[in-house]
Structure 1
Amino acid sequence: MNIQEKKQAAADWFKDLRDQICASFEAIEDDNQGPMADREAGRFERKTWDRTNQADGAQGGGGTMSIMRGGRVFEKVGVNISTVHGTFTPEFAKNIPGADEDPSFFATGISLVAHMNSPRVPAVHMNTRFIVTTKDWFGGGADLNAPLPNAQDTEDFHKALEGCCNRHDPAYYAKYKKWCDEYFYIQHRNRARGEGGIFYDQLNSGDWAKDFAFTQDVGRTFNEIYPALIRRHMNEEWTPEERETQLEYRGYYAEFNLVYDRGTTFGLKTGGNVEAILMSLPPEAKWP
């Protein structure tokens, strides 16, 4: 498989995964019998965008945002895909593997963030991506972000990801869990952003098919365990105090994404769609 075929295969997979996840989430909306069951079941709205704001005015790919707002279960959830290409600025190219030799790049991926109505249902983040410069690699992961941490939810989420990792390389889970814990850490708050998960980057083992299979399995595993956690709690009542805790937690979540997140930086510095990049921010938050 040549590099163009690899690019297409990865982009096609991210689109297919998007469709699978959106279907899972809409089914949850239909099945909800909880505190907001009198609302109309939420549905995703899709919006495409083109990356045409490069310095030379050339078209540089684009993407599709899939956003659901104000549903029975999901207060705001985005499942975005993009496939973009272009040239890094000289300053930014220094930080990207292979870009110091040639600043041209290609990037395709899926990015998901879910903020829930119920503080008892954990928020979540997931993304996987394929990047090509003079080198190529996969990256991504998934992490749980509960305003009210639940030990069983956390254990089940990690077990699912551990099983995923073990199907491909027994060394992956410990390595990628540690990387996640270190990456999703709010340094100025001296606290973790959430309950962790896995995070990996620059994955190129020399066997592209193997690395792609792992990245696909991360997506499938996420789409199995996270809907299960939602269904576990989505019909429970919650208190005003729990909602306040959720809103304060969201403030910390927003701080991380705006100050430390590499994906945010990558998108903003490569002419990405600002609305799609900042999709990760919660619809409502508070700071104590």
Structure 2
Amino acid sequence: MSDQMQDQKSRASAWFEELRNQIVAAFEDLENNQNTGPFADAPAGRFEVTNTKRSTDDGSDAGGGLMSVMRGGRVFEKVGVNISTVYGTLGVAAQQAMAARGVPGIKEDPRFWASGISLVAHMQNPHCPAVHMNTRMFWTPNAWWFGGGSDLNPCIEYDEDTAHFHAIQKQHLDPHGEDLYPELKAWADEYFYVPHRGRARGVGGIFMDDRNSGDWEADFTLTQDIGRAFLPAFLPVTEKRRNTEWSDADKDTQLVHRGLYAEYNLVYDRGTKFGLATGHDANAVLMSLPPMAKWV
């Protein structure tokens, strides 16, 4: 591996940690400022931080990360913000999956390195949308690429919230080419579709994978801007809805929608499958699951 690539990997890993710190601080500030509603008298939510490790059969060092989870807050019922940097050798199933996606030379040399941030937030108030965001860099001896995006998952939809979320994504993507936002929006619409339910998981967002334009710096900057878009896209929507009164019927609607979210993540999500297949901490991989859900 060249010194340049080693430096690039270090920069990517450091950025994901920086973004994690920004988001954790913003979410704890939101908890501090929630002084009305049914949970106003509860302690402000705080993240519980746990070190995670990737397990291997021979017990060798394979990397790990930080799992940061807040439960039972004033605004957030459960939110996880995880970062990880893992490496080693891909198993046969993962090699086959990578080869099917066109990754060159993966069967001949199955070494890999991956770093990223993954976030899922489930809210107390049913009028506040759940949200997902992740960005990542992946390396093998013969290829590298970036991936990720963010999408909004309301159980009670507001057109103006959807419009704001998408407008901020577009604002951050347009400097990279005005054709990029429509492309990544369409990709998200396709990726976050739940075939067995015949519907989308939420109201969409942006998504990309296998991003390698040949210009690492340009692709890394794009990945950073996807991360930078998250807080200005999500926080104003939450600020607007966090004090809206809700009914038992609203909460029931939220729990049913969480069931849809759980189905998607367990059946289709590529990151869930990869994390479990490569031996990463199962609790960290499955932190996306809601604290409570319902099926009808």
1:38 and 2:41 equivalent? yes
1:272 and 2:275 equivalent? no
User: Unmatched 5+ residue regions in structure 2?
Assistant: none
Which deviates the most, 214-223 or 11-20? 214-223
Residue aligning to 2:61: 59
Residue aligning to 1:119: 126
Q: Deviation of residue 100 (structure 1)? A: 2.8
Identity of aligned pairs, percent? 52
Question: Residues 100-158 of structure 1: CA distance to partner in whole angstroms, max 9, x if unpaired?
Answer: 33111000000000000000000000000000012001000000000001100000000
Q: Distance in 2 between matches of 1:208 and 1:239?
A: 49
Which residue identity lines up with residue 207 of structure 2 in the other structure? F
Q: Secondary structure at the match of 1:94?
A: helix
The structure 2 residue matched to 1:5, chosen from 4, 7, 11, is 7
Cα contact 2:52–2:284 (8 A) shared by 1: no
- Regions of 4+ moved over 3 Å: none
Q: Distance in 1 between matches of 2:65 and 2:280?
A: 9
Question: Residues 154-177 of structure 1: CA distance to partner in whole angstroms, max 9, x if unpaired?
Answer: 000001111111111212111111
Question: Residues 168-205 of structure 1: CA distance to partner in whole angstroms, max 9, x if unpaired?
Answer: 12121111111100110111000100000000001111
Q: Distance in 2 between matches of 1:182 and 1:261?
A: 12
Residue aligning to 1:93: 95
The structure 2 residue matched to 1:179, chosen from 179, 187, 192, is 187
User: Unmatched 5+ residue regions in structure 1?
Assistant: none
Cα contact 1:193–1:256 (8 A) shared by 2: yes
Q: Deviation of residue 94 (structure 1)? A: 2.1
Residue aligning to 1:78: 80
RMSD after superposition: 1.0
Normalising by structure 1, what TM-score? 0.98
Q: Deviation of residue 39 (structure 1)? A: 1.0
Q: Secondary structure at the match of 2:176?
A: coil
Q: Distance in 2 between matches of 1:199 and 1:34?
A: 35
Cα contact 2:166–2:233 (8 A) shared by 1: no
Residue aligning to 1:285: 293
1:150 and 2:153 equivalent? no
Q: Deviation of residue 90 (structure 1)? A: 2.2
Q: Distance in 2 between matches of 1:127 and 1:253?
A: 16
Residue aligning to 1:159: 167
Q: Deviation of residue 245 (structure 1)? A: 0.1
Q: Distance in 1 between matches of 2:122 and 2:175?
A: 30
Q: Secondary structure at the match of 2:173?
A: helix
Which residue identity lines up with residue 251 of structure 2 in the other structure? R
Cα contact 2:127–2:154 (8 A) shared by 1: yes
